[in-house]
Amino acid sequence: MPTLKRIAISVGDLNGVGFEIALRAHNDIKQYVHPLYCISRSMATQAASLLKQALPEDFECHEISGGFTIQPGIVDAQSGRYSYASFIAAITLAKSGVVDAITTLPIHKEAWMKAGIKYVGHTDALRDLFECDAIMMLGCEKLYVPLYTEHIPLRDVASHIQTDPLVSFFLQLYQTTKHEPIAVLGLNPHAGDHGVLGDEERFIEAAIKQTNAQIGKEVFVGPIVPDIAFTPRFRERYTMIAAMYHDQGLAPLKALYFDEGINVSLGLPIIRTSVDHGTAFDIAYKGIASVQSYINAINASLRFVSLQDY
């Protein structure tokens, strides 16, 4: 029997739904991966007791210091600090080769801020820690949506639409996924309507042409009118749609595939996948959180490990 790939699980904010998801999915995922949970045994036991469950004997924990009292649904600095420590531990395990990939459960950005952590989220931290331009891509096998800009104010997006950075983004996206074809959304309504509603599309069009020339084939298509890109007929042709900003891509994606979606960080020296949802404080420890995104994220980790091995 082949050795199972080892996946480090960053447990996220323990005041949210992350631990419940990990615990409920444990018996499923252990059939095809070896999970290593970045949480102390004592904190895992406390979380399991809140769910009125016993912690399985084979629930392997990687000890994290800094225990605290879990408060379901509460934004708390201690929980934010612990989720960050769990995340850093998972990264360290991957960098040292102890695990083959990491999968992260949701953190709470305000809790990180309360804890004095300077990053606004996982991807922001990964870029800084690895000193590289990681791409945030969300979705599922039916549709993936990579984001050109992410957690920046909407008023700043237009100034980021420039040809050279777009070319770099497109090339990295293709090199890390080998996906084709890839549709590229315009920024403005009607993709600018030939300059009537904005002219940022000229930079996007130039970047597409330059990128395809460098690749040697027509991989990228666009700029596409955003309001038709997520229709059923269009999605039959394109299973990857690059968005210019966060909500342009993620609002329709989550309307279509909320429970199935995952988050993948592309362009890193480690493999990292994540669930595509937040901490869901309103349902924390109620036993009703969906495990589908988490299971899909674990499966995606395995696929990317296989690509790397190949």
* 16-45 pLDDT, tens digit each: 999 999 999 999 999 999 999 999 999 999
Tell me phi and psi for residue 263, to 5 degrees. -120, 130
Question: Is there a single domain that holds both residue 221 and residue 152?
Answer: yes
Question: Is there a single domain that holds both residue 129 and residue 271?
Answer: yes
Answer with the one of 244, 259, 274 that is the final residue of a domain: 259
Question: Is there a single domain that holds both residue 183 and residue 284?
Answer: no
d(CA 64, CA 139): 30
Give me the number of domains the chain comprises: 2
Question: Is there a single domain that holds both residue 195 and residue 242?
Answer: yes
Instruction: Please tell me the pTM assigned to this model.
Output: 0.84
Question: Is there a single domain that holds both residue 126 and residue 208?
Answer: no
Question: Is there a single domain that holds both residue 177 and residue 278?
Answer: no
Residue 172 has pLDDT above 50, yes or no: yes
d(CA 274, CA 57): 25
Answer with the one of 259, 282, 299 that is the final residue of a domain: 259
Question: Is there a single domain that holds both residue 117 and residue 17?
Answer: yes
Residue 254 · residue 261 · CB < 8 Å: yes
- Count of beta carbons in the 10 Å neighbourhood of residue 168: 13
pLDDT at position 14, please? 98
Range of the domain at 215: 143-259
* 53-98 pLDDT, tens digit each: 999 999 999 999 989 999 999 999 999 999 999 999 999 999 999 9
Average pLDDT, the chain: 94
Question: Which CATH number fits the domain that encloses residue 100?
Answer: 3.40.718.10
* 174-193 pLDDT, tens digit each: 998 889 999 999 999 999 88
Residue spans of beta strands (DSSP E) within 121-261:
135-140, 143-147, 182-185, 220-224, 241-242
pLDDT at position 310, please? 46
pLDDT at position 158, please? 96
Question: Is there a single domain that holds both residue 81 and residue 49?
Answer: yes
Answer with the one of 259, 281, 298 that is the final residue of a domain: 259
Question: Is there a single domain that holds both residue 219 and residue 235?
Answer: yes
* 8-23 pLDDT, tens digit each: 999 999 999 999 999 9
Mean per-residue pLDDT, 118-122: 89
Judged by average pLDDT, the poorest of 4-13, 108-117, 123-132, 152-161 is: 123-132
- Nearby residues of 267 by Cβ (< 8 Å), 6 or more positions away: 132, 133, 134, 135, 172, 176
Question: Is there a single domain that holds both residue 255 and residue 269?
Answer: no
Question: Is there a single domain that holds both residue 238 and residue 275?
Answer: no
pLDDT at position 309, please? 57
Q: Which one, of 94, 179, 181, 79, lies nearest residue 135 by Cα?
A: 179
Question: Is there a single domain that holds both residue 244 and residue 293?
Answer: no
